[in-house]
Structures are given as structure tokens and as C-alpha cells.
Amino acid sequence: MWSTLLLLGAFAPGVLSVPGAGDDTVEVHWVGDTPKYTAGATFGLPWPEGKHHFNSTAFGISSDAGDEIPLQSWVTGYWRDGSIKWTGHAIPPLEESVDERYTVTARRGHSGSAPGVDVAQSKDEVVVDTGKITVSFPKHGSSIVGSIKTAGGKVVGQNGRLVLHTQSVVAEDVAARANTAIEYLNFESKVDNVTVSEEAGVRALVTVRGTHAPTTPGAHDAWLQFVVRFYLYANSDAVRVVHSIVFDGDADSDFVSGLGIQFQVPLKGEELYNRHVRIPGEEGGFLHEAVQGITGLRRDPAEEVRLAQVEGAQLPDISTWDERVSSRMQWIPVWNDYKLSQLSPDGFTIHKRTKAGQSWVTVPGGTRSHGLTYLGGATKGGIAVGLRDFWKRYPSGVEIGNAGADEGQLTVWLYSPDAAPLDLRPFHDGMGQDTYEKQLDALEITYEDYEPGFNTPFGIARTSELYLYAFDATPAADDLATLSKHTNEPPVLAADPSYIRETKALGSYWGLPDTTNDKAATIEDHLDFLVRFYEGQVEDRRWYGFLDYGDYMHTYDEDRHIWRYDVGGYAWDNSELSPDLFLWQYYLRTGRPDVYRLAEALTRHTGEVDVYHIGDWKGLGTRHGVQHFADSAKQVRITQPQYRKYFFYLSGGDERVGELLQEALDTDKTYGVLDPQRKVREDGWVPTPGQPAAISLGTDWAGLAAGWLLEWERRGPRWQEARHKLTQTARGIANLTNGFVTGSGLYAITNGTLLPPPEDPNNDGIVAVSHLNAVFGMPEVVSELLEYWGSDAPAGLRDVWLDYCYFYSATEGEQEARYGESFGALNLIQGHSRLTAYFANHADNATVAERAWDEFYNNEDGFTEDDPWNSTVIDGSAVLIPVDEASWVSTNAVAQYGLAAIQNLALVGGALAGSPYP
Ligand SMILES: *[C@@H]1O[C@H](CO)[C@@H](O)[C@H](O)[C@H]1NC(C)=O
Ligand SMILES: *[C@@H]1O[C@H](CO)[C@@H](O)[C@H](O)[C@H]1NC(C)=O
Ligand SMILES: *[C@@H]1O[C@H](CO)[C@@H](O)[C@H](O)[C@H]1NC(C)=O
Ligand SMILES: *[C@@H]1O[C@H](CO)[C@@H](O)[C@H](O)[C@H]1NC(C)=O
Ligand SMILES: *[C@@H]1O[C@H](CO)[C@@H](O)[C@H](O)[C@H]1NC(C)=O
Ligand SMILES: *[C@@H]1O[C@H](CO)[C@@H](O)[C@H](O)[C@H]1NC(C)=O
């Protein structure tokens, strides 16, 4: 795999181009350090409106030295006029040397297909040949991977399957085990269908869908839907695997006690002393073992024999060894089985045994395993499989089985069977909250919005990323170390912030960091502090775990020096007030690699776990709480597609996130079965499927609108429906006497019409302003939408939005003069200062710009300059472990301060230096 990329010359660049007007070059760089190794990469690039059309543009990419690299290009988003807004691009591994930057060109011409990956399809399987490996994907049966064969013709892995183990109940304590009848069940993948990307040049994407079926037929229904995506790049011996499951079981009887991906590794004909196991340790470390070890023995077979085994090389012929060893091989134990368990983010244990029925022997362990595990032989080759963020997603594990047999197994556990089963039952029994009054009263104290039946995990999901590498022979330890880094930090290519900003493809409400004056520089320092503080909190507070990793907590408990992980609505954040938007916008302007990784992990969490993917609530998410799925507020404000948009486009159209965006198009159906206002409704209205429903013009409509706009941009299969609903509802809002200030409208799913709300059937104009409407993506969505439409925006839409922006924080007198009544006491003024700034920018009004900064600095519930803007270490007996504390920080405040700071600087930054504030 380390050989020079000889094939490169054989690639026709696939570009038929004639240089001329309209040529564009865009630089891309690695996010973070230039990687030592790449296995093929996909990235996204934005383009300004009106510049390039797909059928008349040829994309190319070249290195520093001007060498053309094969490039596969496709469109992930279009501007309204049909010109290209976003492209996705794939490049093969860069083997000889990796440059810091590459140049992408867009020329007149058209991109031919870059030859590379060879895809063959038959009735029974899909076979992909990258030039380095050939992988087959059966279309039926239990294997999601048929075989993995190297270019040298060795089958190094086969019958890759998903494995699932469950139990029907859990014993409530150790004594209860004696009288708890537990049914244990084993499941394995059952493939429903396999599809392959239409275009396969540099990269082929194979998508396998199915469920987990019981290995004893009839023992249980097939369940736990999965979709596993395999990305194979030309000339690469690595496969990227994106594994997603949806929980469609019963939390009271389907306890997951092990979830993994398992490969068979053919070892027949390999001497036991030439078989190697590499168990992943810390950083790039490994435990190096041979299945039959010839080191450390009482007699020495010869130094070169010992060294060869440790290096993973084929041993000299046994006839050349010291006979005192070679004659006694039958007495040296054969270690068939190994397992590593990472049951906490702080430690892993390793055990091995000779075979079932014999005791496990403890192998010294460590703290945080990187997870990349190898099984193979010096002459037969083998595979390494790694789970990204292995220790952060504890309880995880790896297992080697039957390494002494003709066929060994390598299993990566996404959920370790050594851990207590995954318990998705509610954390409390309802505490007698059987009436609305009691639930409201409980909310008053724990801030949890409880309702029986709503605390269900049915329909939540989780996505994991793995890499699989194939070898003709056991690789050197340093090479495996390089791959372990690649697995955990897959290299990402990105355009510079200034270029992305210029294209406006992710809006124009953010700008590059501003240090042109002291006040702006102070804000930049604050933003930096907040992001670093959260990075540190993830570690200090161990915000890790199979379902939890990526998320943050909502509010801090100063007395206990701990985030309120156990207090109702103050625990897991579930995107409350848009930390997702803050982190992505902060990444866009700074290009910082640490921020990219933080935002990526958050998006992978919030888009999957906090959201329902199937069933009646598909497209809705769950409000913040102790468990990600427990709170009874199920709303689109949590699913908000805008939260996924940045990652989707930057990643070149991540297909799993694309699928989540598709799911979001069904969100509007939920209004027919679940009324988001049901807890506060007084008119007795009950939803009926297909019938008009009252939706809020912020938390609801902003989420629906973002999904519709994305589908329109992507020209997805439902884009015309999406555009219609978007346009109709926007027209409806523009038509309301009080526009967005009306607060809600009656939405008809059948034709997309938005009529005045039931309280105001004649559209006389009512005032219902909520502090929540504009803090779940609405400013970003409306701003992008108005730019997307340009002069074609529904008449009056811009005006009603500018009105909302101006009047939300205007004086009561101004509100009364405009709407006949004031908006009442509103909060989140700091976050809303970006609405004022938006107005000021559009009206080019310096007075209002100054008002925006006043609201940013002087308000009741945001951060102020008098806050400490630092953290303190708390240690000793006061805390479990030493932690960094900033008790003045809450995630709501961070998200809204961050967004206001970024957008105010971008929109009215010029007014800051001269303003009398703070
Ligand atoms: C590109 O051209 C093909 C063939 O003429 C056509 O089917 C396709 O719609 C065009 N695509 C775009 C984005 O214009
Ligand atoms: C593939 O199988 C899944 C179930 O696993 C099903 O939902 C989907 O409709 C199938 N797709 C096709 C194209 O058959
Ligand atoms: C807007 O209002 C006018 C008159 O009040 C009505 O005719 C029209 O249908 C409305 N349009 C929408 C999209 O609601
Ligand atoms: C859309 O549907 C609603 C509810 O059925 C109906 O009141 C309205 O007249 C329809 N609008 C149009 C333009 O068809
Ligand atoms: C700016 O806005 C203020 C406050 O609404 C208004 O009084 C003033 O006339 C506006 N100035 C300009 C130049 O439009
Ligand atoms: C944090 O800031 C406060 C207020 O500015 C100051 O009094 C305190 O000394 C600072 N603490 C640390 C650890 O820097």
C-alpha cells in the first residue's frame, strides 16, 4: 500500500476542456495538519451564483507542482437560476506525497468520467474493484460484504456481517439474577437491498440496507433497521464504512447487549507462528502478538526468528531454528481469542484465552484505545478494522476469535457485549404526573416537559464511521499507527473561509474574524474562550458515550460544580437555541480544525439521536432532557435541517446527512397527528391527518422552510413539491396583516397554503411574538432564502421579515404605533440583536446599527462585558475530578451570544468602534 501511485499515469484526467472566459480556480487545503496518508477523500466546494453550469463545466484538480490528479465531480446544490451552488468532489489516495494545498479549476467544457473504480453488477452481487482491492457485496443473505480480495489475489476478509445480541429483560441487581428469566437472542444482518452510486469514477458508493434477523428463525421479528454505506476509492486499499441503525424495538424487551460488525479472516495454510494479532492501544500504540508466540520462551529459536515474529514478518523456515524450540512447538499455547473492552472513556482492558472452556488471561490494558485492530498472517495477509472515535463512543470493543483455526474472526463492537445492556427505558416512572396540571407543576420545578407515552426511543438512530484496510502481509506497526490516525481523524479538504464567504453559498450573515478595533477584538477573544471552554468541558465532564458523544449539557449547577445531567430539562442540550449553528458559523469564519471536529461530532449526534427517523413523529426531534428522547416536546425546531446544512455541503454531500434531509420532507405530516401546541391550546382543536394545522411562524415554519429550501437547492426528487410549499407558505406569511408578528398560521399540507391562524380567521391582525421563534435557525433560513429568491421573492416577504427584525426589540411605543399593541416582555435580546443588525444592514441605518450593539451589550439574559470571561479550576474534595468551571456560562447563552456576535460583526461591524457601547 505504500508503493508509488503508478496507476496515476494511466488515469485520463477525464476533462475535456477549452480554456476561456469563466475559468475559475479555487484553492483547497487540509483542515488541520497535512495528513501523512490519505485513502481517497471527498469534499465540497461552493460557487457564486450564475457562474457555472454543470453540463458546460469541466472540473480539475492539480497539486502544487501542477500535476493533474483524477477528480470525480458532481453537483450537490444549485442556485435558483440552475447554476452550480455546491459541488462534491472525490480524489483517489495521494500516495507519493501529500501537498498542503491543491487547486481546483472550473473551465468551460464538461467533466468526462474519470476512469478508476470498476463496478460490476449481477443478480446476486455488486463487485467493486479499486485496482488495489476487489470487494463483493451480496444482494441477499446475511453478509453485507462477501469478500475482500487484494490485487495480489488473496482473499483477506469475507462474510462481513452485522451482529446483534439482545436480552429480553435485565436483572435489576445482582441478587435478582437468581430469579430473573432472561431470554438471550442472537441476530445477524439480513440484506434487503444493495444499490451502487450511478456514477463511479474515482469513487464508488455501495449502500446496503436491511434489518437484523434472529439466527434462530422465528425467535423474534427482524428488527433494528440498518443502512451501511461503503465508500471505495480508485487505487485505494481502504474502505470507508458509514453504519447507521434506527431503533425500532421495544425499550422494555429489546435490550441491546452487543452490536458489532464482524469479518471472517481466512488463515488456512498460515503457520500459527506466522499469524498476527494487533490490539489497539493509546495513540498509535499496539499490542503485538503472534497466535503462537516464540518469544520469551525458555529456549531461544534464534534472534532473527524472534525479531521476525515481533515485526510481523514470515519466520525463517522452522528447520533452521534451534531444535530445542522447533521440536516442542506442540507445548506452546495457541491463543485463539482476544478481546478489548473500552467500557469507559478512561480505561480499556484486554484479555485473551486459548479457547472456549479455558480461563481468560489478563493482558495489561490502558486508558483510551484508538480502536484499529488487525488480524492476519505474514503470508496470507489480513485486514485491519477501526471504529472512529472508538473510546469516545464507549462502551466499545474489539474481539478476535478462532485465530488458530482455518478462519479467524475480527469483530468491532459498536456496543460492547461486556457492558451492561443498552437501557432505553425512561429514567423515572412518571411520578404520578397523570394530568396536565401535574405535568405543568412538575415542569415548574425540574423543567422537564413530561407526558406519559412520549418518552420513547422508538425511531431514534445512531451513525458510526469505520475504516477497513486490506493487506497482502502483516503490516509494519508504524504503518498501522498511521492508519489509526487516519481512522480517527479522516483528512478533510476545504476551501478557505474568504472564498466561501465570497460565494455567499452559506449566506452572507457571517464574516471573517474582525480585529480592526478593540471592541471587535474583545468579542473575538470571547468567542475563542467559549469554544475552547466547551472543548475542555467535553473532556472534563466526560461528554462521551455511544449515544451521547457530540452533545453538550444545557445548564450548570454551581452548588454541585457539575452540569445538571440529572435535572429534567437542564441536562442534554439537544440543539437548544442552536449551538450547531454557532459552531458551524464559527468554523466557516475561522477555518479552525478543532472547531470543525467539534461541530462534526455535534451534527452526527443531534441529527441522529435527538430525532425520530421513522413512525408518526418522523422528522420531529425531542426537547432537551436527561435522556435524548424523553421529553414530551417533539418539535421540528430540534430536527431543523439548517443544523445539518453546513456539514452536508462542506462534506461534498455526506449521503447519510442527505438521507436525514430527505426524511425532513415528511415533517409536515406530523402536524396531522401531533399538535406541538397541544399543551397550551385552549380552543380544544385536535389534529386530523391531512387537514390544516396551526404552525408557529418560527420554531415550526423555519424548520420546514429550511428543509424545503435544501430540497430545492439539491433538486432532490421532491424539489418541486418543496419549492411549492415554501413559496406558498412564504406568500401566506407575507399576506398576513401582521406578517411574522402574527406568530402562527393555518397550514394546509395538501396544497401548501398558509392561511391566517384560527384566532384570526379574517386576518384582521393579531400580535403573538415568542422569544423562541427566531432562535432555532429562522434568521439564517430567511436570510438565505431571500438571497436565493432574489428579486423573485414573494411580494412583501422581505418587508414582513424586516419588520419582525426591527420591532422585536423596539420600544413598546414603536410596537404600539406599528401594531396597535406592544409585544409584552420578551427576552433573549442579545441573540435577537442580530435581527436588529439585519434590519440596520438592509436599511443602511446607522441609528439602528447602534441600537443592535446596545442590545448586544446591555440586556438582562445574555452575557455582558462584566462577566468573568474566564474559567477556574475546581479540584480537591469538592469535585469528583479536577474540572474547569465557568458557572456564568450556559449553553443557551453561548449559542445565542455566539450567533449574535458573528452576525452583528458581519452586518453592522462598521458601527461598533464608534458606538457608545458597551
Ligand atoms: C445535462 O445534460 C443532460 C443531457 O443533455 C440533461 O439530461 C441534464 O438535465 C443536464 N443537466 C443539467 C444540470 O443541466
Ligand atoms: C431497501 O430496503 C429497505 C428496508 O431495509 C426498504 O425500506 C427500501 O424501500 C428498499 N429499497 C429498495 C430500492 O428496494
Ligand atoms: C393573499 O391574500 C389575498 C387577498 O387577501 C388572497 O386573494 C390570496 O389568495 C392570498 N394568497 C395567499 C398565498 O395566501
Ligand atoms: C388549500 O387547502 C385549504 C384547506 O383544505 C383550503 O382552505 C384552501 O382553499 C386551499 N387553497 C387552494 C389555493 O387551493
Ligand atoms: C433610522 O431609523 C431610525 C429609527 O427607526 C429612524 O428614526 C430614522 O429616520 C432612520 N434613518 C434613516 C436615514 O432612515
Ligand atoms: C476571572 O475573572 C475574574 C473577573 O474578571 C477575576 O476576578 C478572576 O481573578 C479571574 N480568574 C482567573 C482564574 O483568571
- Give pLDDT, residue 681: 78
pLDDT of residue 12: 36
Task: Name which of 732, 737, 728, 734 is nearest 755 in CA terms.
Answer: 732
Nearest CA-CA partner of 491 in 579, 375, 600 = 600
Q: Is the peptide bond before 70 cis (omega within 30 degrees of 0)?
A: no
Q: How far is the CA of 689 from the centre of ligand 3 (A)?
A: 24
**pLDDT at 39 > cutoff 80:** yes
**Pocket-forming residues, ligand 2, beta carbon under 6 Å:** 192-193, 209-211, 225
Residue 597's closest CA among 713, 465, 784? 465
Mean pLDDT, rounded, for 215-226: 97
Q: Does residue 248 share a domain with residue 216? A: yes
List C-alpha distances in Å: 238 to 41, 467, 530: 11, 7, 37
C-beta of 110 in contact with ligand 1 (< 6 A): no
Ligand 5 centre to CA of 918 (Å) is 21
Instruction: Kindly give the pairing relationship between strand 337-344 and strand 396-401.
Output: antiparallel
Query: Residue 101 Cα, ligand 6 centroid: separation in angstroms?
Result: 41
**237: phi > 0 → left, psi -120 to 50 → alpha, else beta; which?**
alpha
Question: H or E element: which one contains 464?
Answer: strand 461-471
The number of the ligand nearest the C-alpha atom of 140 reads 2
User: From the alpha carbon of 750, which atom of ligand 4 is closest?
Assistant: 2
* CA-based nearest residue to 862, from 893, 835, 833: 893
**Atom 5, ligand 1: residue with shortest CA distance:** 55
Q: Which atom of ligand 6 is nearest to the CA of 872?
A: 13
Do 156 and 251 belong to one domain?
Answer: yes
Element housing 893 (H / E): helix 891-908
Amino acid 22: pLDDT: 65
99 and 124 share a domain? no
Query: Does pLDDT of 4 surpass 70?
Result: no
Residue closest by Cα to atom 7 of ligand 3? 735
Residues 6 or more apart whose Cβ sits within 8 Å of residue 790:
80
Does the residue 87 lie in any domain?
yes
Domain boundary at 89, 108, 127, which? 108
Q: Please name the residue whose Cα sits nearest to atom 5 of ligand 3.
A: 735
Give the residue whose CA is nearest to atom 13 of ligand 5: 845
Is 9's pLDDT higher than 50? no
Which atom belonging to ligand 2 lies closest to the Cα atom of 192?
2
Q: Last residue of some domain: 45, 77, 108? A: 108
Q: How far is the CA of 193 from the centre of ligand 2 (A)?
A: 6
Are 546 and 394 contacting, i.e. CB atoms less than 8 angstroms apart?
yes
Confidence grade of residue 5 (pLDDT, cut at 50, 70, 90): very low
Question: Closest ligand 6 atom to the C-alpha of 871?
Answer: 13
Ligand 3 centroid vs 724 CA: distance in angstroms? 15
Closest-lying ligand to the alpha carbon of 81? 1
Using a 6 Å cutoff on CB, does residue 54 contact ligand 1?
Answer: yes
The verdict on 13 and 137 lying in the same domain is no
Say if 40 falls within a structural domain. yes
Question: What are the phi and psi torsion angles at 810 (to 5°)?
Answer: -70, 175
Is any atom of ligand 5 closer than 6 Å to the C-beta of 791? no
Q: For residue range 820-843, what is the model confidence (pLDDT) as tens digits? A: 999 999 999 999 999 999 999 999
pLDDT at 342: 98
Is the pLDDT confidence value at 1 over 90? no
Which ligand is the nearest neighbour of the Cα of 872?
Answer: 6
Cell of 767: 400580535
CB atoms within 10 A of CB 362: 10
Q: Judge if 77 and 186 occupy the same domain.
A: no
CA atoms within 13 A on the CB side of 837: 31
State whether the beta carbon of 848 lies less than 6 angstroms from ligand 5: yes
Both 144 and 254 in a single domain?
yes
Ligand approaching nearest to the C-alpha of 814:
5
Q: What would the grid cell of residue 837 be?
A: 443588525
203 within 8 A of 232, measured Cβ to Cβ: yes
Residue 887 buriedness (CB in 10 A; 0-12 / 13-18 / 19+): middle
CA 870 to ligand 6 centroid distance, Å: 6
Cell numbers standing for residue 107: 473551465
In a domain, 773, yes or no: no
Give the position, in ligand 4's atom list, of the atom nearest the Cα of 752.
1
CB under 6 Å to ligand 6: residues? 868, 870, 872
Of 242, 241, 226, whose CA–CA distance to 190 is shortest?
Answer: 226
Nearest CA to ligand 3 atom 2: 735
Name which residue sits closest to atom 7 of ligand 6, judged by CA: 868
Residue 154 falls within a domain, yes or no? yes
Query: Sign of torsion, CA 47 50 51 54?
Result: positive
Residue located nearest, by CA, to atom 13 of ligand 1: 54
Q: If pLDDT is split at 50, 70 and 90, which confidence band does 97 have? A: confident
Alpha helices in 94-208 (DSSP H): none
Q: pLDDT tens, 863-898?
A: 999 999 999 999 999 999 999 999 999 999 999 999
What is the SS3 assignment for 811-828? Answer: CHHHHHHHHCCCCCCCCC
Q: Quick check: 811 pLDDT over 90? A: yes
- Cα–Cα nearest to 778, from 731, 834, 712, 694: 834
Ligand 2: nearest atom to the Cα of 227 = 5
* Mean pLDDT of the chain, nearest integer: 95
> Does one domain contain both 101 and 163?
no
Which amino acid residue places its CA nearest to atom 11 of ligand 3? 732
Question: Is the link from the previous residue into 918 a cis peptide, with omega within 30 of 0?
Answer: yes
* 319, part of any domain: no
CB atoms within 10 A of CB 796: 16
Q: Confirm whether 129 is domain-assigned.
A: yes
| 143 and 238 part of one domain | yes
Q: pLDDT tens for residues 102-148? A: 999 999 988 776 778 999 999 999 999 999 999 999 999 999 999 99
Domain end: 265, 296, 317, which one? 265
DSSP structure class, residue 611 = B
Among 321, 341, 201, 338, smallest CA distance to 271 is for 321
Phi, psi of 904, rounded to the nearest 5 degrees: -65, -40
Q: How many helices (H) and strands (E) does the chain have?
A: 19, 38
Burial classification of residue 517, based on how many CB atoms lie within 10 Å of its CB (0-12 exposed, 13-18 middle, 19 or more buried): middle
Contact yes or no for 205/126 (Cβ under 8 A):
no
From 864, 870, 871, 887, the mutation candidate for ligand 6 (largest count of ligand atoms within 8 A of CB) is 870
Co-location of 130 and 261 in the same domain? yes
Query: Which set of grid coordinates corresponds to residue 260?
Result: 458489532
Please tell me what DSSP assigns to residue 420: P
Which of the four pLDDT bands, split at 50, 70 and 90, describes residue 686? confident
Nearest-atom index, ligand 1, CA of 55: 1
**Digit-coded pLDDT (tens) for 395-442:** 999 999 999 999 999 999 999 999 999 999 999 999 999 999 999 999
pLDDT for residue 684 is more than 80: no
Say if residue 138 is in the same domain as residue 257.
Answer: yes
Instruction: For the chain, state the CA radius of gyration.
Output: 29
Q: Is 298 among the domain residues? A: no
Local confidence band at 13 (pLDDT 50, 70, 90 cut-offs): very low
Give whole-number Cα distances, 852 to 644, 768, 833, 910, 912, in Å: 28, 22, 5, 12, 10
> Residue 90 Cα, ligand 1 centroid: separation in angstroms?
21
Does 11 score more than 50 pLDDT? no
Segments in 557-654 forming alpha helices (H): 579-590, 593-606, 636-639, 642-650
Give the CA-trace dihedral at 751, 757, 762, 767, to 10 degrees.
-140
Q: Write out pLDDT tens, residues 748-797.
A: 999 999 999 999 999 999 999 999 999 999 999 999 999 999 999 999 99
Do 101 and 180 share a domain, yes or no? no
The type of residue at 807 is F
The residue range of the domain holding 75 is 7-108
Q: What is the pLDDT of residues 603-632, one digit of tens each?
A: 999 999 999 999 999 999 999 999 999 999
Cβ–Cβ under 8 Å, residues 578 and 636: no
Ligand 3 lining (C-beta closer than 6 Å): 728, 731-732, 735, 753
Number of folded domains in the chain?
2
Task: Determine the distance separating the centroid of ligand 2 and the alpha carbon of 192, expressed in angstroms.
Answer: 6
Which ligand ends up closest to the CA of 846? 5
Global pTM? 0.96
Same-domain check for residues 175 and 251? yes
Ligand 5 contact, 813 CB (< 6 A): no
CA-proximal residue: ligand 2, atom 10 (nearest): 193
Question: Does 509 reside within a domain?
Answer: no
378 touches 388 (CB < 8 A): no
Three cell numbers written together for 659: 438521507
Report how far ligand 2's centroid is from the alpha carbon of 191 (Å). Answer: 10
Percentage of the chain surpassing pLDDT 90?
Answer: 93
Full 3-state SS string of 638-660: HHCCHHHHHHHHHCCCCHHHHHH
- Model confidence at 678, pLDDT cuts 50, 70, 90, reads confident
Among 106, 88, 90, smallest CA distance to 18 is for: 106
Rounded percentage of the chain residues whose pLDDT exceeds 70: 97
> If you measure from the C-alpha of residue 864 to the centroid of ligand 6, how many angstroms do you get, rounded to a whole number?
15
Question: Whose grid coordinates read 412518571?
Answer: 430
User: What's the N-to-C CA distance of the chain in angstroms?
Assistant: 59
Cell reading at 868:
468573568
Among 47, 55, 111, the mutation site with the greatest number of ligand 1 atoms within 8 A of its Cβ is 55
Cell of 451: 407526558
210 CA to centre of ligand 2 in angstroms: 7
pLDDT of residue 115: 72
Q: Is 310 exposed, middle or buried (0-12, 13-18, 19+ CB in 10 A)?
A: middle
Cα gap 848→841, rounded to integer Å? 9
Question: What is the rounded distance in angstroms from the CA atom of residue 634 to the CA atom of residue 619?
Answer: 9
The CA distance from 238 to 385, in Å, is 10
Which residue, chain included where needed, has cell 534472534? Answer: 303
Q: Given a cut of 50, is residue 518 above it in pLDDT?
A: yes
Express each pLDDT in 247-291 by its tens digit.
999 999 999 999 999 999 999 999 999 999 999 999 999 999 999
Nearest ligand, CA of residue 737?
3
Contact predicate 891/573, CB 8 Å: yes
Element (H, E) at 44: strand 41-46
Residue nearest to atom 2 of ligand 6 (CA): 868
Task: Give the pLDDT of residue 20.
Answer: 53
